[in-house]
Structure 1
Amino acid sequence: MAGVKQKVNVDHMIELIEKLVNIPSPSGNTEKVIQFVADYLKELEIPYYLNRKGGLIATLKGQNEQEHRMLTAHVDTLGAMVKEIKSNGRLKLTLIGGFRMNAVEGEYCEIETSTGKMYTGTILHTKASVHVYRDKDERTEDNMEVRIDEVVRSADDVRKLGISVGDFVSFAPRFEQTPAGFIKSRHLDDKASVAILLSLLKTLKEENTTLPYTTHILISNNEEIGYGGNSNITPETFEYLAVDMGAIGTGQTTDEYCASICAKDSSGPYHPRLRKKLVQLAEQEDAYYQVDIYPYYGSDASAAIRSGHDIVHGLIGPGIDASHSHERTHRDSLLNTGAILYAYMLSEA
């Protein structure tokens, strides 16, 4: 498997990331982005099906059809829903996923009505003007609101637009690729990983590669709320590898250039055999990696374990800075993660 890095098309991955992050898909409202993935797989003539939760499972038949592998990445993101239409014509939010309100203060957003109509707005503190208020408040759901870009002065004005409680609110991704190779955007968690897997599927298909084991790719759509990857795991599946972002911060080994291999998160240790295998493959392919522990983190693999599946589970992903906030990674991280994953899919147990 020498030269695996040469098979990793980072430019294509970045193109996919840009397309994916610009499709709003907060948990619970992922049909459009799942359709994008389905259309991509149709062009490659890779079979797939949708589960009842709305996730997508693609399958590549391998030489061994009695033992299966599953890899997963999630396409759902953080977001919000309309909690209340306020008397001043602004919207109070309830959060989808775990993030701090200060991470979205000042962010542009879109409100999608039940009929599919879209309106734009900005998420602001209720005392945003420094010329009027001496603001010292902590940012909470109670003192943040959406200013809608429509002429609305009352709750009735808002309702006439078709906006109602329960409508989904998504955050502007603000995708940007810099000359130094950085990719800046919201929702790199976990659309960067989805792009990596989709790009690898394209390479495998174009090279007419037969994998050693039948391999399922689950594009899950409820990871941010805890249960995206806990079902549709075949009884034959012996290894389950979540591909999700590596967390960066004080005390972490992960950086924006590596593939981050998780040894333990808030759910407990990942299977040591699979972790050691990923390390071995990284060293074999000269792919820069770090082994790390994520203290406040859970993955689709840990959700699968909690749901009772008898599998060996692991977690790997690109290093992403400022998770659940203003995220950034580097093309080297995509390259290193892609190389390890490609080698893993071609490897024997």
Structure 2
Amino acid sequence: MSSAISIDPHYLVARLKALLAIASPTGFTDEAVRQTARELERLGLEVVLTRRGAIRARRPGAARRPARGIVSHLDTLGAQVKLLKPNGRLELVPIGHWSARFAEGARASIFSVKGTYRGSILPLKASGHTFNEEVDTQPSGWRHVELRVDALARNQHDLTQLGIDVGDIVAIDPAPEFLENGFIVSRHLDDKAGVAVMLAALEAMNRERVETPVDTYWLFTIGEEVGVGASAVVTPDIASLVAIDNGTTAPGQNSSEFGVTLVMADQTGPFDYHLCKKLFELCGTNGIRVQKDVFRYYRSDAASAVEAGHDVRTALLAFGVDASHGYERIHLHALISVAKLVVHYLQSQIEIERDAEETAVGLKGFTHQKVPEAEQDLTPEDGQEG
């Protein structure tokens, strides 16, 4: 096993930039799927697509089972047209869960039957010269913003003539910035940065000719932001599924924009004890910075896989994101750290051989959760009261 895994930062950043350049709100992911599938094929993997476009690509290992899966999602937050308003503007509903506070001021594209239009999402009272302090005191929420289309759109009739209709998809501009100090600021880093991490890990494995004890599956989903996620892309061969997604660096959280954030639980409950323990130990063995966190208001592809009935061990590796689901910020250090851990994990030996079968008779080979007794020195030191 190599301990000197080299992740190419230039490749990782290039893939992230390419992904951010393609609009892919949930329900409008075909072009992102095409780009990712082509890159996987270039890296030598056979690509299988579900009907709607989730990607499953297999990299052969020494044995077929118990296979390991790595998953991230191609879909992002966005919006849809809810109503053509009498004033020629558009009422919106969000795709995914994100605050209208982050929508205000955003530039956006509307995908209509007659073409793509540009526009801005504005509060209902947007002119300080007209509304004065009411601009600051008006409520915040999706019913209190509207999309101004950059075309002749004075009323509902004009909007109809443009081909704009209820249900049209609206993509929010990412507005990315890649800073020389390693920070990356953009919308939709959740989870295009996760996709870039996976591709960078795969590129490193191919470049360094890393061999794995079992097959590895590289999964890319298209509906995570609306809760569908990995419900239809996992195969029975996969025994362990590791999701790559954002961690939240916010007050009360232990996530960081540096190193790996190993998520121990989210709103659906704890992740697999044995898989999390293995990933944490791999960080220590290979000198990868790691911190643990627990999320209250969070779910990932791993949750959707389990809820769909797949009996897989799950874990979540996160790169710390500041202002998640808004103008997000990450650091390249975290992305490279997660990619390194993915490679070390995939080349590590199988410890639970029983996982090769979905069910097995009896307890032979079943796991233990033995916790060593804590050392308790109850003798007070000199000078301390007993």
Aligned to 2:224: 223
Distance 1:4 1:27 in 2: 37
Aligned to 2:118: 120
In the alignment, is residue 14 of structure 1 matched against residue 10 of structure 2?
no
Q: Is the 8 A contact 1:103 1:325 kept in 2?
A: yes
Distance 1:56 1:114 in 2: 27
Matched AA of 1:342: V
Distance 1:265 1:4 in 2: 32
Matched AA of 1:85: L
Q: Within 5 Å, which residues of 2 pair with 1:138-177?
A: 138-177=139-178
**How far did 1:143 drift?**
1.5
Distance 1:114 1:316 in 2: 39
Distance 2:258 2:10 in 1: 16
Q: Which has the larger radius of gyration?
A: 2
**How far did 1:22 drift?**
1.5
Distance change (3 Å), C-alpha of 1:207 and 1:179: closer
Q: Within 5 Å, which residues of 2 pair with 1:67-82?
A: 67-82=66-81
Aligned to 1:66: 65
* Bigger mean CA offset, 62-71 vs 291-300: 62-71
Distance 2:289 2:219 in 1: 26
**How far did 1:156 drift?**
1.1
Cα deviation code 1:155-209 (max 9, x no counterpart): 1111111111111001110111112110111111001010010122222223333
Distance change (3 Å), C-alpha of 1:282 and 1:114: farther
Aligned pair count reads 347
Matched AA of 1:258: G
Aligned to 1:83: 82
Distance 1:239 1:114 in 2: 42
Matched AA of 2:220: I
Q: Is the 8 A contact 2:85 2:91 kept in 1?
A: yes
**How far did 1:137 drift?**
2.0
Q: Is the 8 A contact 1:4 1:342 kept in 2?
A: no
Aligned to 1:45: 44
Distance 1:232 1:179 in 2: 37
Aligned to 2:30: 31
Give the structure-1-normalised TM-score.
0.97
In the alignment, is residue 296 of structure 1 matched against residue 297 of structure 2?
yes
Aligned to 2:127: 129
Aligned to 1:56: 55
Give the structure-2-normalised TM-score.
0.87
Distance 1:264 1:33 in 2: 29
Matched AA of 2:55: L
Distance 1:264 1:54 in 2: 29
Cα deviation code 1:38-61 (max 9, x no counterpart): 111222231011112321111111
Please list every run of 5 or more consecutive structure 2 residues that lacks an aligned counterpart in the other structure: 351-386
Q: Is the 8 A contact 1:109 1:123 kept in 2?
A: yes
Distance 1:276 1:94 in 2: 41
Q: Between the two proteins, what is the percent identity of the paired residues?
A: 34
**How far did 1:2 drift?**
4.4
Aligned to 1:285: 286
Q: Is the 8 A contact 1:285 1:339 kept in 2?
A: no
**How far did 1:309 drift?**
1.3
* Bigger mean CA offset, 37-46 vs 298-307: 37-46
Aligned to 1:181: 182
**How far did 1:102 drift?**
0.4
Q: Is the 8 A contact 2:221 2:233 kept in 1?
A: no
Aligned to 1:341: 342
Q: Is the 8 A contact 1:220 1:229 kept in 2?
A: yes
Matched AA of 1:150: A
Matched AA of 1:207: E
Distance 1:19 1:158 in 2: 32
Aligned to 1:4: 4
Distance 1:148 1:74 in 2: 29
Distance 1:10 1:277 in 2: 26
Compute the RMSD of aligned alpha carbons: 1.2
Distance 1:222 1:305 in 2: 15
Matched AA of 1:121: G
Q: Is the 8 A contact 1:246 1:259 kept in 2?
A: no
Matched AA of 1:4: A
Q: Is the 8 A contact 2:54 2:233 kept in 1?
A: no
Matched AA of 1:79: G
